[in-house]
Amino acid sequence: MVRRIAALLALTVVGCGSPAAVVTEEKTPAKKAAATKATKPVPKLEPPTPEPPPRALPKVLVLADAEAKLAEIHASHRQSFFCGCSYTPQMRTIRQSCGYKTRADDSLAHDVVWTHVVPPDAFGAHRTCWTTEACRKDDGSTFGGIECCRKQDPVFAAMEADLHNLVPAIAEVAKDRSDYPFGEIKDEERMYGACDIEVDSAKEIVEAPERIRGDIARVFMYMRATYGDELKVTEDQWALFDMWHVADPPDAWELERAATIVAIQGVAHPFLQGGAAPTVPADGTAPADAKAPEPEPAPKPDAKPDAKPDAKPDAKPDAKPDAKVPTKSG
């Protein structure tokens, strides 16, 4: 009996963790490596460095601020873009300055507004913010279109407020032009008196005056060079712009205006540098060595033999804002 009790006590001690009950397992090299690997600290993953944008966008202004800035730029050159009509600081058309005649709406014929050379439809109608209701109002309703793109799409906002793409125009002409592309109209009819612009609303096409065709072409070319393949423009139109660009080189006002805008927006205009503009690259990017445009210097008079080194030319009289008539209107 005593021996049985002793045996039971011995079994109890072994089962409770006696050294005799500990079975050691020899670890294989694979298991050792796995254990070592598990004990190493896991390095923290750093967030990926964002890639820089493919091109630098111009300094973006709110559209209303862009229009105010343009009013300052044009203070010494108040002439409407399409018709060449002078206008007052209050943006009222001086129709006798250009022979403009009202087509249909006399109230619009008296007003001058800022309008786009490249219409928003050409760089916005294909964007997601335009085609879907991607924006939401405070009341929970959704909306899309141009207002949504202004709010949600920074590239669209930059393109819409780009100062190079905004020009002063008689409101009636701007409304009739709508977002129609530029082209050529055969047997056109003068619809606005002496203003040489034709609008065919049935074919949805606009024929611009010859004196500003190069200006129009260079705005389109600048927009493509600055923003890449963002414009929905046909190959036929690009071919037409190439011809317009060559046939109508920039004048002094176009160069002066571009230089002022470049100083504000911080991005060069590669097609207005005082000389022959480069061909648009296949990828739509601006040349790397593009410089800010500089107005062509005025020709210097021949120096007289007895002229003094410090002699200064006579100062030019101040130009009157509403009486200045350049080679081409802006």
Please report whether residue 90 resides in a domain: yes
Average pLDDT, the chain: 77
Please report whether residue 40 resides in a domain: no
- Percent of all residues in the chain with a pLDDT value above 90, rounded to a whole number: 59
User: Nearest Cα to 161, choosing from 118, 125, 127?
Assistant: 118
Please report whether residue 151 resides in a domain: no
Question: How far apart are the C-alpha atoms of 184 and 199, rounded to whole Å?
Answer: 10
The band of 270, judged by pLDDT with boundaries at 50, 70 and 90, is very high
For position 28, what pLDDT does the model report?
A: 53
Please report whether residue 123 resides in a domain: no
Please report whether residue 32 resides in a domain: no
Contact yes or no for 82/211 (Cβ under 8 A): no
Question: Does the pLDDT value for residue 97 go beyond 60?
Answer: yes
Domain count along the chain: 1
What angle do the packed helices 235-247 and 213-227 form, to 10 degrees?
120
Please report whether residue 155 resides in a domain: no
Higher pLDDT, 217 or 326: 217
Q: How many residues does the chain have?
A: 330
Please report whether residue 252 resides in a domain: yes
Please report whether residue 231 resides in a domain: yes
Q: What is the pTM of this model?
A: 0.67
Question: How far apart are the C-alpha atoms of 213 and 206, rounded to whole Å?
Answer: 12
What is the extent of the structural domain holding 86? 63-118+162-265
